[in-house]
Amino acid sequence: MNHIVIVRGGFAGLNCARKLSAHPDVRITLIDKNNYQQFQPLLYQVATAILTPGNAAFSLRSIFRNHANVDVKLGEVISADLLTRTMHTKDGKTYQGDWLVLAAGAQVNFFRTPGADKHAYPLYSLRDAELLRSRILTLLESVDREPSLVAQGALNFVVVGAGATGTETAGALGDMTQRVLKDVYRNLNFSKSRVILVDVIHTVLNAFSQGSQIYASEMLKKHGVEVLLGVGVKEVHPSYVVLTDGSTILTRTTIWAGGLKASKLSGALGIRAGHGDRIEVQPDFSVKDFPGVYALGDLQISPAWTASRCLSLHQSPSKRAGIVLMLSLLRSLVTL
């Protein structure tokens, strides 16, 4: 029976495991530092108290309760030997498979912005969302007790990055301060609250269609969000940020949605990483020179590929099982 080790149960790893578990001759070990899969598109709603954390996290064990050939293991993979397809976890456990699927995801990229790693609030994990949620609620209570904090920027929220996460978060914060919280904190003057969305790019949702960009811009304006484009954040301090044009904004909450890079596991694989510390893969998502090793999701940089190209390959019977696995991996990605 083929043993497949999958690192992380995010979108790529989870869907890969679900697809491959349909093969009766496959045994899967899914390793994740959390025992849940976090639905990242909803994290901004957790951070702004629209949803509870439980609405954005789903038990991995429950997902695979009817898949006898999938074994979920709690552990953080910190290094790997790609030649032997062996994984090492932070708590000293070792896992080795016939096939290895690296789907370790990404981490926030502060782009070496001074103070960002210490004072900004990223929004990539469920824990990030819970920390930001706690920060916002703590500030609201502080201002309710001491209204003079408003003049010090306590109700100003700076969101760095006008991609999907930043745009959604800014819009939700605007809705909170302009509408939702007025009946909850009746003594606060939210007319002095500001939500500022900042990005060096000259449009919101740069990777989306022009129609989506126009719609998002209109909705942000409707919800009272100030959009500053073509300017970046140069420094992040506990009570203010400095922009690249030299101006400053008073704020006690800087939310970082400015970009991602591959998880730190990519630096512990003994291979050269590409842009954003991501692993360069071949058209079938395999890692060159390491048979049986694949990289998926945010951990990899993939060239253009098509499943039909893979089907046209002529392999010996001993290698045909690898092609079946590869195509299953590709199909799992298509469903993301």
Of 47-61, 120-134, 305-319, the one with minimum mean pLDDT is: 305-319
> pLDDT tens digits, residue range 202-224?
999 998 999 999 999 999 999 99
Tell me the backbone φ, ψ of residue 220, rounded to 5 degrees. Answer: -60, -45
* Cα(132)–Cα(163) distance, integer angstroms: 18
- For residue range 138-166, list pLDDT tens digits in order: 999 999 999 999 999 999 999 999 999 99
What's the confidence (pLDDT) of residue 303?
60
Question: Do residues 317 and 325 touch, judged by C-beta distance below 8 A?
Answer: no
Tokens standing for residue 273: 């990483």
State both tokens at 162: 């006008």
- Position 308 scores a pLDDT of 32
- Per-residue pLDDT, averaged over 71-93, amounts to 96
Where are the domains positioned within the chain?
Answer: 2-33+75-107+261-334, 116-258
Tally of CA atoms within 13 A in the half-sphere of 180 that contains its CB = 12
- Model confidence at 41: pLDDT above 60: yes
What topology does CATH give the domain 2-33+75-107+261-334?
FAD/NAD(P)-binding domain (3.50.50)
For position 198, what pLDDT does the model report?
A: 98
Active site residues: 168
CA-based nearest residue to 177, from 193, 165, 196, 166:
193
Domains 2-33+75-107+261-334 and 116-258 share a fold: yes
Give the pairing of strands 120-122 and 26-32.
unpaired
For residue 288, the SS3 value is: coil
Any idea which architecture 116-258 has in CATH?
3-Layer(bba) Sandwich (3.50)
Contact assessment for residue 121 and residue 253, using Cβ atoms and an 8 Å cutoff: yes
Kind of pairing between the strands at 70-74 and 26-32 = parallel
Q: What is the pLDDT of residue 144?
A: 94
Q: How far apart are CA 220 and CA 223, in angstroms?
A: 5
- Average pLDDT of 306-314? 33
